[in-house]
């Protein structure tokens, strides 16, 4: 299985801050990488797929980059509704695997 490791596990930030979350794959996954946002008690929501493609309806303050094994999710200006947990997912091979999550908390 491809292991996905996110860092940090949690981050405290203020509204308007720029937040960056990283995700590392245990082997190359090319550009087969997605990001999800999960609010408490809700299903995950797809934000970005193929490293940097924004899912329909997702605000442009979310962006992604990377290739191979190292990837980044950036929120350019944190909004109140962005406080949530974020997961990366590799879409390169079976079984699909997720990172352990990064919780973005209010500072």
Closer by beta carbon to another protein, 18 or else 39? 39
Closest by alpha carbon to 92, among 51, 31, 37?
31
For the chain, the first-to-last Cα distance in angstroms comes to 36
Q: Rule CB under 8 A: choose which of 21, 23, 25, 34 binds another protein.
A: 34
Q: Is 24 in the site for another protein (CB under 8 A)?
A: no
Burial class of residue 23 (count of CB atoms within 10 Å of its CB; 0-12, 13-18, 19+): buried
Q: Rule CB under 8 A: choose which of 19, 23, 84, 99 binds another protein.
A: 99
Task: Find the shortest distance in angstroms from Cβ 34 to another protein.
Answer: 4
């Amino acid at each position: 299985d491809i292991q996905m490791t996110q860092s940090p596990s949690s981050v405290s930030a203020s509204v308007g801050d720029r937040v960056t979350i990283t995700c590392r794959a245990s082997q190359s996954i090319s550009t087969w990488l997605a990001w999800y946002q999960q609010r408490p008690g809700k299903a995950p929501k797809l934000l970005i797929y193929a490293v940097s493609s924004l899912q329909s309806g997702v605000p442009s303050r979310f962006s992604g980059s990377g290739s191979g094994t190292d990837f980044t999710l950036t929120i350019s200006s944190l909004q109140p509704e962005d406080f949530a947990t974020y997961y990366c997912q590799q879409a390169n091979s079976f079984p699909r695997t997720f990172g352990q999550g990064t919780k973005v908390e209010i500072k």
